[in-house]
Amino acid sequence: MPVRRSTMRRVASRMRRAARAWADASRTLVRRAFYAGTRRECPVCGHSARRFLAYGLVPRDDARCPSCGSLERHRFAWLYLAQRTDLFDRRPKRVLHIAPEACFAGRFAERIGSGYITADLRPQFVAESIDLERIPHRDDSFDVVYCSHVLEHVPDDRRAMAEMRRVLRRDGWAMILVPITSERTIEDPSITDPRERERLFGQHDHVRRYGPDFVDRLEEAGLGVTVATVSQLVGAGDAARMGLTASAGDIYHCHRT
């Protein structure tokens, strides 16, 4: 009996996943048809649209790709990865992707292959459940670590940075991105009330706001940082076409020092 019940649960869960995937695909097709046009182009999925969707708690117009769901920062990161890194060169490499973005995970897996590892604190939808402050991997074990918009949630971000450096191979690199929303980094570990965190740090589960001094923290953790802006990568026309507004932020491309 228990076997039969667990089999039924597995089948039910598979059916729920299939129904969800079908509903997602249907919604994407409807959105793609509704936003059909050529004024916008998403470098992540390659689809064009007349405009991107509004997105955010305080909605930003023209932000989210109607086909793959990419936001400004994803499209900028994709361009940077394609143009300035070896991530997509199809050579075997070990890549640790922390909190994988839905618009990236499948595309990274297809290009990187078996060395691609997804990880998150929560085990759903990833290969490994990982606490960034204690990464359960040996020193020098990854060619690439990709971690975007995660550290603002992590209590001891300095330790997490040191951990990411530790697991990087000597000639490896990391892309570590955070939202820069303050003139200086502000944090207060004594503030744990979600409403107070939202008021001070912009989101109920954020533990700080970062300023441009984020780079100093990376450097203190033993990482050399190349900062790249949208205008260094594409002209104004392409930036507008791909929806790379100020919300795209900057790229922090890190190497071991």
**Would you tell me which residues interact with Zn ion (CB under 5 A)?**
42, 44-45, 65, 67-68, 70
As measured in angstroms, the least distance from the Cβ of 187 to Zn ion is: 34
Closest CB to Zn ion among residues 55, 133: 55
Q: Distance between CA 233 and CA 238 in Å, rounded? A: 10
Residues with Cβ within 8 Å of residue 213, at least 6 apart in sequence: 184, 185
If we measure between CA atoms, which residue out of 220, 224, 231, 232 comes closest to residue 253?
224
Residues with Cβ within 8 Å of residue 55, at least 6 apart in sequence: 63, 64, 71
As measured in angstroms, the least distance from the Cβ of 28 to Zn ion is: 10
As measured in angstroms, the least distance from the Cβ of 45 to Zn ion is: 3
Closest CB to Zn ion among residues 45, 126: 45
As measured in angstroms, the least distance from the Cβ of 69 to Zn ion is: 7
Measured CA distances, 158 to 152, 154, 171 (Å) = 11, 9, 21
Closest CB to Zn ion among residues 78, 210: 78
End-to-end Cα distance, the chain: 59
Closest CB to Zn ion among residues 46, 92: 46
Return the half-sphere exposure (C-beta side, CA atoms, 13 A cut-off) of residue 76: 29
Closest CB to Zn ion among residues 43, 179: 43
As measured in angstroms, the least distance from the Cβ of 215 to Zn ion is: 29
